[in-house]
Amino acid sequence: MATTEIRFSGSGGQGLLLSARILAAALALQGRNVAQSNAYEPVSRGGLSRSDLVISEGEADFPLARRLDYLLILDLAGLGVSDHLLSPRSVVLADAELVPDPPRGDFRTLALPFAETARSLGNPRVTNIVALGTLCALSELCPPELLLERVLAMTPAKFDRLNRDAFAAGQAMAVHEPA
């Protein structure tokens, strides 16, 4: 049974768990089977935070990632804790500013300006949405329109324009990266 495993990793307060919930909801609307698990240190901001999605054609037999297809790292707190789950098929997406020395190895690593892009849009809190747009475009796990619809449905309406812009910026960032 084919599975896709994704880990969102960084520090508390970056919206990683929200991003994983949004992607899981979009995939579920497509009829995909998704198991999600979260782990975080008991602090509201800072400290390790991560969320795993296991996407399966059939019922997911285990909710924790065992071999990552995609690893998104938005902060140094998430660095190093997932390296043992990387394989030649893995793609690592790391924030170029907050993770200056991302994992390197027999897998693909892309250091991209997620936080810088969010700041240029006027709010660093949409770094997670920028990264989600990039992940969507590179992974082709679900149609971008569906994922954006879930972003808008699961975040406050007053941030709709900002989230649209952040998602579009993330998608555009992926266009410049070879598949």
pLDDT tens digit string along 143-170?
999 999 999 999 999 999 999 999 999 9
Q: How far apart are CA 155 and CA 119, in angstroms?
A: 18
Amino acid identity for residue 113 in this structure: P
pLDDT at 25 over 90: yes
Q: How far apart are CA 127 and CA 79, in angstroms?
A: 17
Q: How far apart are CA 8 and CA 120, in angstroms?
A: 23
pLDDT confidence band for 58 (50 / 70 / 90): confident
Domains of the chain: 3-175 (3.40.920.10)
pLDDT at 8 over 90: yes
Q: How far apart are CA 42 and CA 69, in angstroms?
A: 27
| Mean local confidence (pLDDT), 39-61 | 76
Q: Give the residue from 36, 26, 95, 88 showing the smallest Cα distance to 63.
A: 36
Compute the residue count for the chain.
179
Q: What is the pLDDT of residue 44?
A: 57
pLDDT at 60 over 70: no
In Å, what is the CA distance from 135 to each residue of 44, 58, 92? 25, 23, 10
pTM (two decimals): 0.92
